[in-house]
Amino acid sequence: MLRLLLICLIFIGFTQQAAAISSIQITVGEVNAPVGQLKNAKFQVDLKGAQPTLILNADLKPTNEKEFAHFDLKCGQFLTEQIGQAQCLNGQFKSKQISAPFSVNFVSHPSDFALDIDFNGANFSDEAGLHAGEKLTGQIKMAAKKIISTDTWAWDGLISWTAGELYWQPFYFGKAGNTFEINGTFKQDILNIQNASLLVNEVGKMQATATINIKTKIVEDVKVSAKDVDFAGLYAVFLKPMAEKSAFGNMEVSGKADWKFEIKNFAPTSFELNLRDANIEDKNGKFGFSHINAHIPWDYDEPKNLQLAYKSGHLLKIGLRETKLTAEINRFSLTAPKLDLPVLDGALSLSDVSAVRLGDNWAWHLRLDLVPITLNEFSKALGWPTMKGQISGQIPLVTYANKQLNMDGAMTFNAFSGSISMNDLVIDDPLGVAPRLYADLQMRNLDLGDLTRTFSFGAIEGKLDGDVKDMVLENWKPVQLDASIQTSDGKHLKKISQRAVENITALGGEGTAAALQRTFLRFFKEFNYEKIGLSCKLRQDVCEMGGVESTSTGYIIVKGKGIPAVNVNGYTQKVSLEDLLGRIKRITDSNTKVIVN
C-alpha cells in the first residue's frame, strides 16, 4: 500500500513542474495492496500537445479474484490545475469485462474528497454474466468527509442512469431513468448506508438502509421499503424474478402496493406486502383474482395475521365469488380454523387448515365441506351439457404432501335424481405437466330419462346403477378402469325408444344400426326392456366390452321384454377407447341437444 502511495506522490509532484517536462513514464513491476495486486503497470503522461493525455496499462488482481486481468485506461484530456485535483475527459477504460467511455473529476483535500464520474455507453459483465450492464449512460457522484473526532467518513452519493439496461441477478432493470441517492458513514470496515432513496422506473420510490462489512463482504442488515408503488412494476422488476419457479411466476398484475422486507446475514427476517385494489391473472389461465385487498406479513420470530379479500376470481374455469380470508402465519407454517371460499352458487368450506413449507414445497391438510353447488352452474362452467342436480359432500381429511393430493372420504354428486359418489381420490402432481388421478366412482338410481335427455341419446325410461373401479386418469384421460352400468334393481318403468336402440346398436359397432329399419319393428316408437347393461375393462387404449349376459358370439346390451321384444347385441369384444369415444360423440352430436331444466 505504501509503495502505491509513493508512486502516486511522485506522479503528482512531477506534474506540477510540467513546464520543464514533456512526458513522464513510470513502469512498476508489482504493487501489493490489501484490495489487490497490480503488476506490469505502465503509466504514461504526455504533456506535449495542447491537451495532455494519460495512459495506464496494467494487470490487476482484486483480492477475491484468482487471476490477473489486463486493463487499459486512457484520458484523452488530462488536467491537473491544482494540487489535489485531477480531471480526465474523453476517458476510456477497457478490460476483459468492462468497456467504459467516461469522464472523471476528482477533488481531494486532506479530510474530504469528491468524485464525479460520467459514463456514456458503458458495458460491463462479470465472468458468469450474473451482473452485467449494456450501453449504460449516466452519472455517479460521490463525496466524503472525514470526521476527525470519531475517525469516521461521512459520505453521500448519487447514481443515476438515463440510458441502457442492467441485470443484477435475479433483477433486470430494462427501463432507464433510475436514480439512487445514497448517504451513510464508513468506519473501520463497516459501511453504513443510512438512507438510500431509490427511484426505480415503472415502480416508484423505495427507501433502503443497509450495513455492509467491507472486510468479510457480509451484508449484515438490509431494510427496503416501498410505499404506494405500482404493483405491475414492483411485480415485474422485483417479485417475478423471485417467484419464477412458483405458480405465481407468470402473471399479469395491476394495482397499488406497499412492500417492505428485512434481511440479516443473507437470510430474510421479515416481509410485508400490502395490495390495494389489485388484479392478478395467471398467463396460463390457471387462476385469476380481481379487486384484491391483502395484508401479507411474515416475520421469522413472531406469528403474524394474514388478511386476503377479493371480489371475484377463478380457478381453472370455476368461478369464485367475493371472499374474505384470514389466517395465521408462523415462520414456515400457515393455520386457519376456518376458510370459506364461495364457489359458483355454493362454497368450499375449509376447516382446520394447516399448511407448512418444507424446502421448496408446501404440504397441507384440511377438512372440506361442500356447501351444495348446483350442477346447472357447474356444468355451465365446464362447458358440459346443462344438468340438473347438485354437488355436495364432506371430506374429513384432505392432505397434500410430496406433490400428492389425497381425499379420505366421499364427494357426492346428486344428479339425475340419483347419486354419484367419488371415493378414495388421489391425484399425483395435480399442478404438474402430467397429473395422474386415481378414484372409484359409484352411481346409484340415476334416472335414465334425465340422463338420455341431457346427453341427447334418444329416450330411455328407467333407473341405472354403475360402478367404476380402479380408475386411473393420466393428464385427465382414462388409461385404466373397470366400469359397468346396469339397470337398477326394484320396480320402475323400463322403456326404450327406437332411436336409443339404434344408438346403442351403433355403440356395439358400425353397420348393425340399420337392421331395425329393415324389419317390421320400425313401426314401433318404443319397446319394453328387462335389463340394460354395458361394461368396459380398460387397459391403456383397449376396452374389453361386456353386457348384461354373454352369448356365444358376444354379449347382450339390451335384453327385451314382452311383445315385440328387442334385444341389442354387441359383437365387438375389444374396442379402442378412441373409437368408442368417437362413436359416443357422433351419436350425441347428431342428435339435437335437449336442455333439462
Partner 1 sequence: MKKLFTVLSLLAATLFSSSWVSAAADLDVNTPAIAAIKNSMQARHAQLSPHYSSGAVGLTADGLVAVRDATAVPLKDRGGINSLVAAENGDRTALYKEIAVGNGHPEWAGEIRSTFAGRWVDKAQSGWYYQNAGGWVKK
Which one, of 59, 55, 3, 1, lies nearest residue 24 by Cα? 55
- From 238-246, 251-259, 298-306, 568-576, span contacting partner 1 (CB under 8 A): 238-246
For partner 1, the binding residue among 132, 191, 199, 219 (CB under 8 A) is 132
**Can residue 169 be called a binding residue for partner 1 (CB under 8 A)?**
yes
My answer on whether omega of the bond before 170 falls inside 30° of 0, hence cis, is yes
What is the rounded CA–CA span in Å between residue 22 and residue 20? 7
**Can residue 167 be called a binding residue for partner 1 (CB under 8 A)?**
yes
Which one, of 47, 51, 103, lies nearest residue 73 by Cα? 103
The CA angle 153-154-155, to the nearest 5 degrees, is 110
User: Are β-strands 418-428 and 463-474 bridged in parallel, bridged antiparallel, or unpaired?
Assistant: unpaired
* Cβ atoms of residues 139 and 159 within 8 Å: yes
**Can residue 72 be called a binding residue for partner 1 (CB under 8 A)?**
no
* Cβ atoms of residues 577 and 538 within 8 Å: yes
* Residue closer to partner 1, measured from CB, 129 or 564: 129
SS (H, E, C) 551-581: CCCCEEEEEECCCCCCCEEECCCEEEHHHHH
Which one, of 103, 97, 94, lies nearest residue 76 by Cα? 103
* Residue closer to partner 1, measured from CB, 128 or 148: 128
Minimum gap (Å) between residue 284 Cβ and partner 1: 10
**Can residue 170 be called a binding residue for partner 1 (CB under 8 A)?**
yes
- From 82-90, 121-129, 411-419, 565-573, span contacting partner 1 (CB under 8 A): 121-129
* Residue closer to partner 1, measured from CB, 25 or 576: 576
Question: CA torsion 549→560→595→316, rounded to 10°?
Answer: 0
**C-alpha atoms less than 13 angstroms from C-alpha of 456 in its C-beta half-sphere:** 15
What is the rounded CA–CA span in Å between residue 462 and residue 448? 5
Minimum gap (Å) between residue 124 Cβ and partner 1: 11
Cβ atoms < 10 Å from Cβ of 200: 22
Which residues sit opposite 268 in a β-bridge? 263
Minimum gap (Å) between residue 433 Cβ and partner 1: 5
85-96 core/surface letters (b: 16 or more CB in 10 A; e: else): ebbbeebebebe
Which amino acid would we find at residue 60?
L
- From 64-72, 109-117, 252-260, 474-482, span contacting partner 1 (CB under 8 A): 474-482
Minimum gap (Å) between residue 122 Cβ and partner 1: 13
**C-alpha atoms less than 13 angstroms from C-alpha of 447 in its C-beta half-sphere:** 13
Minimum gap (Å) between residue 434 Cβ and partner 1: 4
* Residue closer to partner 1, measured from CB, 125 or 197: 125
User: In this structure, what C-alpha cell is assigned to residue 309?
Assistant: 379479500
Scanning residues 382 to 441, which ones bind partner 1 (CB under 8 A)? 432-434, 436
For partner 1, the binding residue among 96, 163, 171, 396 (CB under 8 A) is 171
Scanning residues 280 to 309, which ones bind partner 1 (CB under 8 A)? none
* Residue closer to partner 1, measured from CB, 14 or 172: 172
* Residue closer to partner 1, measured from CB, 134 or 549: 134
How many chain residues interact with partner 1 (CB under 8 A)? 30
**Can residue 244 be called a binding residue for partner 1 (CB under 8 A)?**
yes
* Residue closer to partner 1, measured from CB, 428 or 450: 428
**Can residue 130 be called a binding residue for partner 1 (CB under 8 A)?**
yes
* Residue closer to partner 1, measured from CB, 122 or 320: 122
Site string for partner 1, 509-548 (x = CB under 8 A): -------------------------------x--------
For partner 1, the binding residue among 96, 109, 215, 477 (CB under 8 A) is 477
Enumerate binding residues for partner 1 (CB under 8 A): 125, 128-130, 132-134, 165-167, 169-172, 174, 241, 244-245, 249, 432-434, 436, 473-477, 479, 540
